[in-house]
Amino acid sequence: MTPLLPIHPSPLPLESEIGYLLRLGAANDFHSLTWQQNYRRHMGLPPTNFDDFVELTTGHGPDVLRNLWGPSCSDLPIQSFKKLGIKTTYWSLDHRRWCPDCLREQSYWKAEWLITLQVACPHHRRLLQELCPACGQLVGWYSGGLTHCRCGQDLTAAAHIPASANLLQISQRICDKLSEATEISVPPNKLLTINHGLTRLLAAVQLPRLLDLIWALGCYGHFGSLKKSLKVHGHHRMDVALPILESAAEMLVQWPDAFHSFMQQASDQSQAHALHLHLFAGPHLLALNRALNHPELHFVRHEFERFVSAHWKGVIAARHRFAADTSTEHSTILAKEAMAMLGISRRKLATLINEGHIRGWYQQSKGSLRFFVVDRASVRQFQQNCAGKLFTLAETAEYLATTIPRVRLLVQAELLKAAHRPNGHNLRRNHWVFEKSQLDMLLGGLTLEIHPTPECDSVMSLEKICRARSRDGADFVTILQAIQAGELKCIARDPSHHGIRGLLLDRQQFEDWFTERLRFKEFFTMRPAAHYLGLKEHVLYWLRDRRLLSGFTYPNEASHLSLPKTALDQLKARYAWGKSLEEMTGYGRKSASRALINRGIVPVTGPTVDGGTTYLFLREDIQRFMASQHSATEHTTQGVEHGQK
């Protein structure tokens, strides 16, 4: 296939996708990033994604495009794996950020500069630049050229602002983790002395979790006085992100001493003998401990629990799983420790002792108190032979990471079989019995692998689906029935959650399944009707109030207002908006309405007509306009050919 553009430079290793579009345009004498929108419109190219557009215009195949990473323009979507599982909040397309020395030497925009938490260049030991040296304004992607601001200033001529040693170490770790995630090797940085302790500490931490770690430590370290420390406005700006990153860099480079000093200041030492941990640690330390719950970040929780063990005088055995057990292996233990080992209540422990499964007795103190003690060996033997096979109703809900009413709902729907259930109206929780094998079968077996990046866009958790789509027909029971019927498949597990909350489904498979279900529905409530039409829910109410949408009814004495599918199909056949407008006109989705209005096509409703939020046009008006445009184009072409003859 012959490339459409005459000059097509090869992508460079770890170049950003949006930066390559800028460099590709500059090589072909296009001086702004808007060239790709004008070019696609001029050439009549259909809506496409980034890879297809670059392959069509340059001829570069997938092997060459694997050098490009990070987000691209909104109208040229990328494949989800190009974001490397990094949260959207850590990618910044609000404005450019660059190292003037790197840009002068190599003349391309690196993918790491798009990461919000990358604020320094470890190779040139300087802070990145985001303001124009001349006009002092943020340099946007759609203004200015490859290496120039819109005011004409050369972006490679900025003054050198040195970065701190701690910040350079963190920036180098981000560079290294980005190279590991993309499997693109880069030359080692010989100008920076590597902190080997930090390298060992973060060896098993992948890039998405490293960014979570830096962000959480920095926010709680710098904004600890705020109620919601993780919600920082304008974090994509250097002046906002820099103190956060300095705080996190100090803790990580001087780990664990600096982290312990931070916890010493954040905790209330006067509450060392308090009964509850939250009085001593405070809400921010507990929130930080919960935020970093991924297995790759357990070293942070280990240090947190080591600090609590050393400074808090309360009972920690039942609250911390990383604290070292310093107690001597006595032959007898307290009933509380036996209950924790077996995960049962005091009443159940007493029942097991009365039935002879475990040895236990009361010891009398010098006063009037009695201590319930248990033989450690008998507890361990019971734990190995019998424990964990049968569950009560409450234990089943905890194992499945759901609620007790939902467990009863699963039994009613015959998705879960109880080994024993109480007769009549006796529904006490401790009278239900479930086998562990039945619970594991409901969870998809124990063969599901751990997903390395559960936050990526290619998967969805079952819990998230139920929260967002229950009103649309994808409720808790329906999803599980589809999984057991083979219509949907659990592909992996989220390591941060257990039970049903940790089940992950393929997003595309779910969307296809959900769309197929909508095809066979006869009546739609407002939210699924909006999904079917590709509109927001409030737009349907607006169309109803303007009498552009009719046919509302209450089918089968339902309590919610519904619309028949025929009414929705009639609306789609009469009017055009959004994606259908783009397909009919060839304009971009965001610019099609404005282009039609400028050419004299009057919308039925919209912001400039009646204050609505979405433009709707009559399809016959658009078809008439497109036909006139087509005839005018043919007339012009015939006139040019006649003149040439």
Question: 525, 471 in Cβ contact below 8 A?
Answer: yes
Looking at residues 611-625, what average pLDDT do you find?
88
In our burial notation (b when 16+ CB lie closer than 10 A, e otherwise), range 353-381 reads beeeebbbeeeeeeeeeeebbbbbebbee
Looking at residues 163-174, what average pLDDT do you find?
93
**How many structural domains is the chain composed of?**
4
Q: Which tens digit of pLDDT belongs to each residue from 84-137?
A: 889 888 998 889 999 999 999 988 999 999 999 999 999 999 999 999 999 989
The CA distance from 119 to 240, in Å, is 11
pLDDT over 80 (residue 366): no
Q: What mean pLDDT value characterizes the chain?
A: 81
Within this chain, do residues 6 and 76 fall inside the same structural domain, yes or no? yes
In a domain, 488, yes or no: no
Question: 488, 482 in Cβ contact below 8 A?
Answer: yes
Within this chain, do residues 404 and 326 fall inside the same structural domain, yes or no? no
In a domain, 400, yes or no: yes
pLDDT over 80 (residue 200): yes
In a domain, 562, yes or no: no
Question: 518, 533 in Cβ contact below 8 A?
Answer: no
Helical pair 346-354 and 335-342, crossing angle rounded to 10 deg: 100
**Of 330, 349, 364, at which residue does a domain stop?**
330
**Of 42, 62, 83, at which residue does a domain stop?**
83
Q: Which pLDDT value is given to residue 556?
A: 61
The pTM of the full predicted model, rounded to 2 decimals, is: 0.54
The CA distance from 560 to 525, in Å, is 7
The CA distance from 415 to 420, in Å, is 15
User: pLDDT band at residue 407, thresholds of 50, 70 and 90?
Assistant: confident
In a domain, 455, yes or no: no
Domain residue limits at 296: 263-330
Quick one: which of 224, 215, 225, 226 has its CA closest to 248?
215
Question: 48, 73 in Cβ contact below 8 A?
Answer: no
Within this chain, do residues 75 and 1 fall inside the same structural domain, yes or no? yes
Question: 335, 347 in Cβ contact below 8 A?
Answer: no
Q: E-strand spans in 471-579?
A: 490-493, 503-506, 523-525, 562-564, 575-576
Q: E-strand spans in 171-248?
A: none
pLDDT over 80 (residue 541): yes
Question: 293, 498 in Cβ contact below 8 A?
Answer: no
Looking at residues 263-280, what average pLDDT do you find?
76
Q: Which pLDDT value is given to residue 317?
A: 47
Looking at residues 159-176, what average pLDDT do you find?
92
